[in-house]
Chains A and B, each alone.
Chain A
Amino acid sequence: GENVEQHPSTLSVQEGDSAVIKCTYSDSASNYFPWYKQELGKGPQLIIDIRSNVGEKKDQRIAVTLNKTAKHFSLHITETQPEDSAVYFCAASIGSSNTGKLIFGQGTTLQVKP
């Protein structure tokens, strides 16, 4: 079945450094790739997403890149701040995403040390 692998499972960086989280997916038909941030005790919140007709998207300190050939996509956070500490999930649409269904990666716990 469809699968999304996310690495690393934990990531610790110094404030101001960059953080990169990588995901691979198995379904060639996937065309929508969102990233969610989950703070302790809360539900996940969308922080950025990318569609298959785009290779890169940026929103202030956050960027996402997509390599459809290799079925890889990555989240890049620059100039990290303590409030970036959270669990991050990547996801890929199941099939062409007409159903809106997503399959999620296992999550990455990011710790930003002051």
Chain B
Amino acid sequence: NAGVTQTPKFQVLKTGQSMTLQCAQDMNHNSMYWYRQDPGMGLRLIYYSASEGTTDKGEVPNGYNVSRLNKREFSLRLESAAPSQTSVYFCASGLRNEKLFFGSGTQLSVL
């Protein structure tokens, strides 16, 4: 039982490059989330998916797109990376109004 698995763990991009962060959960959760963590700012919600086939914006969605591929997988795409997107990205899954389970994070640097 792996929980929430994120790939890759580390990534360095040049400004303007694109990439997709992958996330998969094996706990049969309906809801999945993408957060970014920046020093002194806590965790901020980028996008979430309440159930398979639905996605919605969070606090900081600009510059990102998401895909809820199926119940298990929720990917985050940066179409044209910017230095302001340098951050640690966390995927999470859970049941509504219950605990969230977080992955171990992806450390992204945009040069």
Residues of A near any B CB (own CB < 8 A): 1, 4, 6, 9, 32, 34, 36, 41-46, 49, 89, 91, 93, 97-107
Contacts and interface: CB of A to CB of B under 8 A. Distances in A.
B90 interface: yes
Interface of B: 4, 31, 33, 35, 40-45, 48, 50, 56, 58-59, 90, 92, 94-100, 102-105
Contacts of A105: 42
Contacts of A1: 59
Select the residue from B43, B58, B90, B98 with max chain A CB neighbours within 10 A. B43
Contacts of A32: 97
A44 B99 CA distance: 11
B100 to A, nearest CB: 7
B82 to A, nearest CB: 23
A100 B48 contact: yes
Select the residue from A6, A41, A43, A104 with max chain B CB neighbours within 10 A. A43
8 contacts: A41-B105, A43-B92, A43-B105, A45-B102, A100-B98, A102-B45, A104-B35, A107-B40
B90 A101 contact: no
Contacts of B42: 4, 6, 89, 104-107
Contact of A104 (B43, B50, B95, B96): B43
Contacts of B43: 44, 89, 91, 104
A93 B97 contact: yes
Select the residue from A46, A91, A97 with max chain B CB neighbours within 10 A. A46
Given A6-B42, A100-B100, 4 more contacts: A32-B97, A42-B105, A49-B99, A97-B97
